[in-house]
Amino acid sequence: MNLTAIRIDQRDNVAVALTPLQEGDLVNVDGNKLSVVEHIKAKHKIALQDFNLDEAIIMYGFEVGRATKPIQKGALIHTQNVQHSKSNAEVRSSNYNWTPPDVKHWGSKTFMGYHRPDGQVGTTNVWLFFPLVFCENRNIAILKEVFESELGITKQFQHRHFLRMLVEGKDHSGQENDAANNLVFPNVHPRFITHQGGCGGTREDAILLAKLLAGYVNNPNVAGATVLSLGCQNLQIEIFKNALNDINPDNQKPIHILDQQQLGTTDVLIKNAISLSYKSLKEANAIERKPSPLSKLTLGLECGGSDGFSGVSANPVLGRVSDMLVALGGKAILAEFPELCGVEQQLIDRCENTELASRFLKLMQDFERSAIDAGSGFDMNPSPGNIKDGLITDAMKSAGAAKKGGAAPITGVLDYTEYCHNKGLHLLCTPGNDVESTTALVGSGSNVVVFTTGLGTPTGNPVAPVVKVSSNNTLAEKMEDIIDFNAGDIITGKESIEDAADRLLKYIVDVASGYIQTQADKNQQFDFIPWKRGVSL
């Protein structure tokens, strides 16, 4: 590796260490020699100038912090000498110019998808089971056990066999049980969601949950759904139906809604759910994949377990893929509003009109105010893992995280649970929590989620495939069972962002076509956590 530190933007007054640096090392940054004055780990930041007290730290071209004490040129930037800060943002007229990437060689490409009656196209074919209220979680669990065991879906045969051999005192000898491959319906995937909502909270909680679940049913990856209701909960059946009608008045997907208090015994409820669902699974299994233009893809742009390389490799690669898809007429959704704190002005200036800009700024300000009222704030966003790997302020983390959204104009701003209907890049209001945000992206219509990470996370989703992109080679090698795609050679200088983006888009198309199964799907990592905005009563 020739480079040992890199300045990401020419306006930056700090650089990222690409390799560990020792006191006395001479670092070449943009042709200038810099003497390192203390040990600096890879991924952390080195001062390119002397800083006075309260002087701005600039990274990615933005203010990401303020010096809390004088900092010597060549010293480490860390939590003991820098605190979070950001520039004030305002809505202003902007003539944003964007040159789309050249996508001529992608224009005729297609993916093999599931065409739905409303014109959407799925990347997988899911039959969804979920409750309207937590009281029905046990019955969903019963259905899960019954369908997965009888349809050959359960993937625990290998581990059960291993334990059985231990109990019987026999040598396992690496033998595997192939029973898990005997799928009754290979072309449809029963998936099961449970949650802790639907009653006991505010009416707002119930309405938001209804909208989220309706978004899941409307997602093009879903063929239909079996829904269990107790009957007396806040989230009444009509609220769910109205939420689905608001998203798609012409919904033609089969939906079986069973109310336990009307049907009577649990046995009657379960048998009805099994018989209705089995018939629908047979019908859904007959749906075949057909060619579809890439414009039918909706990418959810997500990150989690970020490190100091995420904003240098994985996130810019995903940002270019997002721009390529937008140029092809597709959709992309950038979420996690706490991780856009510090880059508001840049995003405001990219909005197609001042109405969108005003809505984005209001959602950001309202969200941050609610966090402050709860005794926290966006400045508390970086996790211990983030800080350990070089992301020491929220604005610094945000500046790198925003790279996932590329440079395309922003054509839509969505509040939590709003569905993405229009082309282009959208901003979606969600928390920074990985699973809550991924859950929301799928509820807003993402049929593939691309998830960048520098530290590693197993997060998946029951409805949309989640493609994990590693920011560095070490992670890709260490956690190969959860990483799908490695962008680490950008750090070593062996690959360009453009080449990696072409490679990633091809990988996404293969996942969307069913040629490649993501690691999260292989591991049956199907996470679902709604964002609860209200309070419990």
**Percent of the chain clearing pLDDT 70 (strictly above):** 94
Structure-token pair, residue 18: 């690409």
Write the pLDDT tens digit of every residue in 348-360: 999 999 999 999 9
pLDDT at 536 over 70: no
* Residue 527 · residue 439 · CB < 8 Å: yes
Q: Pairing relation of β-strands 298-303 and 448-453?
A: parallel
pLDDT at 162 over 80: no
pLDDT band at 533 (very low <50, low <70, confident <90, very high): confident
pLDDT band at 380 (very low <50, low <70, confident <90, very high): low
pLDDT band at 30 (very low <50, low <70, confident <90, very high): confident
pLDDT of residue 534: 53
pLDDT of residue 155: 59
Mean pLDDT of 476-500: 96
What value does the mean pLDDT of the chain take? Answer: 91
User: What is the residue whose two structure tokens read 């860390």?
Assistant: 78
For residue 156, is it left (φ>0), alpha (ψ between -120 and 50) or beta?
Answer: alpha
Separation between Cα atoms, residue 185 and residue 22, nearest integer Å: 58
pLDDT at 180 over 60: no
Instruction: Using alpha carbons, select from 345, 344, 434, 342 the residue that is nearest to residue 396.
Output: 342
How far from 524 is each of 409, 514, 521, CA to CA, in Å? 36, 16, 5
Instruction: Using alpha carbons, select from 335, 332, 326 the residue that is nearest to residue 428.
Output: 335
Give Cα 70 distance to the centre of its chain. Answer: 38
pLDDT of residue 48: 94
pLDDT at 334 over 70: yes
88: Cβ–Cβ under 8 A, 6 or more apart, which residues?
none
Domains of the chain by residue range: 5-83, 126-286, 295-522
pLDDT of residue 458: 96
Mean pLDDT of 12-23: 92
In single-letter form, the type of residue at position 461 comes to: N
Burial of residue 1 (CB within 10 Å: 0-12, 13-18, 19+) is exposed
Give the bridge partners for 77, in sequence order.
45
pLDDT of residue 191: 97
Separation between Cα atoms, residue 536 and residue 435, nearest integer Å: 21
What is 173-190 written as a DSSP string?
A: TT---GGGG--S-TT-EE
Lowest-confidence region among 85-99, 120-134, 163-177, 510-524: 163-177
pLDDT at 390 over 80: no
The segment with the largest mean pLDDT, out of 2-6, 362-366, 374-378, is 362-366
pLDDT of residue 537: 35
For residue 356, is it left (φ>0), alpha (ψ between -120 and 50) or beta?
Answer: alpha
Structure-token pair, residue 525: 């990592």
SS (H, E, C) 295-356: HHCEEEEEECCCCCCCCCCHHHHHHHHHHHHHHCCCEEEECCHHHHCCCHHHHHHHECCHHH
pLDDT at 158 over 70: no
pLDDT of residue 178: 47
Ramachandran angles phi, psi of 240, nearest 5°:
-65, -45
Mean pLDDT of 378-397: 74
Residues 266, 270, 274: CA angle, nearest 5 degrees: 175
Instruction: Using alpha carbons, select from 153, 448, 501, 504 the residue that is nearest to residue 302.
Output: 448
Lowest-confidence region among 273-277, 427-431, 533-537: 533-537
Coil vs helix vs strand at 206:
helix
Write the pLDDT tens digit of every residue in 115-134: 999 999 999 999 999 999 99
Lowest-confidence region among 204-208, 381-385, 402-406, 417-421: 381-385
Mean pLDDT of 259-264: 97
Instruction: Using alpha carbons, select from 213, 229, 288 the residue that is nearest to residue 439.
Output: 213
* Residue 29 · residue 48 · CB < 8 Å: yes
364: Cβ–Cβ under 8 A, 6 or more apart, which residues?
337, 340, 341, 344
**Radius of gyration of the chain from its Cα atoms, rounded to whole angstroms:** 24
Give Cα 206 distance to the centre of its chain. Answer: 23
pLDDT at 535 over 50: no
Write the pLDDT tens digit of every residue in 64-88: 899 999 999 999 999 899 998 877 8
Structure-token pair, residue 176: 């595997």
Write the pLDDT tens digit of every residue in 421-440: 999 999 999 999 999 999 99
Candidate CATH numbers 2.30.130.110, 3.40.50.720, 2.30.31.20, 3.40.720.10; the one for domain 5-83: 2.30.130.110
pLDDT of residue 3: 58
CATH number of 126-286: 3.40.50
Burial of residue 368 (CB within 10 Å: 0-12, 13-18, 19+) is middle
Q: Within 10 Å of residue 335's Cβ, how many Cβ atoms?
A: 30
Separation between Cα atoms, residue 364 and residue 373, nearest integer Å: 14
DSSP label at residue 481: T
Ramachandran angles phi, psi of 321, nearest 5°:
-60, -40
Mean pLDDT of 195-222: 95
pLDDT of residue 370: 86
- Print burial letters for 336-351: b (CB count within 10 Å at least 16), e (below 16): bbbbbbbbbbbbbbbb
pTM: 0.91
Write the pLDDT tens digit of every residue in 324-333: 999 999 999 9
Give Cα 227 distance to the centre of its chain. Answer: 25
Give Cα 117 distance to the centre of its chain. Answer: 27
pLDDT at 174 over 60: no
20: Cβ–Cβ under 8 A, 6 or more apart, which residues?
39, 40, 41, 42
* Residue 343 · residue 398 · CB < 8 Å: yes
Of residues 28 and 460, more confidently modeled: 460
For residue 236, is it left (φ>0), alpha (ψ between -120 and 50) or beta?
Answer: beta
